[in-house]
Amino acid sequence: MKLATESQENKEVWVKPMDLTLTNGLIGFPEEREFELLVNADELPFMWIRAKHRKELGFVVIEPSHFVDDYEVEISDDDAKDLEIFGASDALVLNIVTIQDSEKIESATANLVGPILLNRNTHLGKQIIVSNHMKYSTKHPIISSSANG
């Protein structure tokens, strides 16, 4: 997987399906609120979110349905109200991916405790701590024996 900035310099095809606003930024980056979702078909199911005003600040993300079957995001009523999420069809959940060894995709983990929750219609979102966080890990393996069949 290439960094978004490297890939763009090499003129690979990236699609930007949406701009998004994270109301409180990301944990560790509260001042960065405007992001863009970037998709390269060759890298799916992995995608990128990148800060619009700091192009060097980007994160690999993945939808949890691609690597975990029983992930249930329990959110607070306040978060649902703030983001105008009234049902599952309104929500897009993205988990931030960490790759410990760039040579070994098997080292990739995802943060299931602090996903990015987006309203699919308004593109407004926030990074939340799921209410049922005790069930999950911040370093959930993406590739495991169960994911491989």
pLDDT-derived band at 9, boundaries 50, 70, 90: low
Is 147 a member of any domain?
no
CA angle 56, 59, 64 (to 5 degrees): 165
Give the pLDDT score at 11: 54
25 touches 67 (CB < 8 A): no
Is 10 a member of any domain?
yes
What's the CATH code of the domain at 91?
2.30.290.10
Whether pLDDT at 58 is above 80: yes
pLDDT in tens, 16-37: 889 999 999 999 999 999 999 9
Is 145 a member of any domain?
no
Is 149 a member of any domain?
no
Whether pLDDT at 1 is above 50: no
Is 125 a member of any domain?
yes
Q: Which residue has the tokens 């593109």?
A: 123
Give the pLDDT score at 148: 39
Whether pLDDT at 4 is above 90: no
Is 129 a member of any domain?
yes
Mean pLDDT of 119-143: 94
Measure Cα distances from 137 to 10, 47, 107, 113, 122 in Å: 35, 21, 15, 6, 29
Length of the chain: 149
Number of domains in the chain: 1
Domain assignment of residue 96, given as a range: 4-140
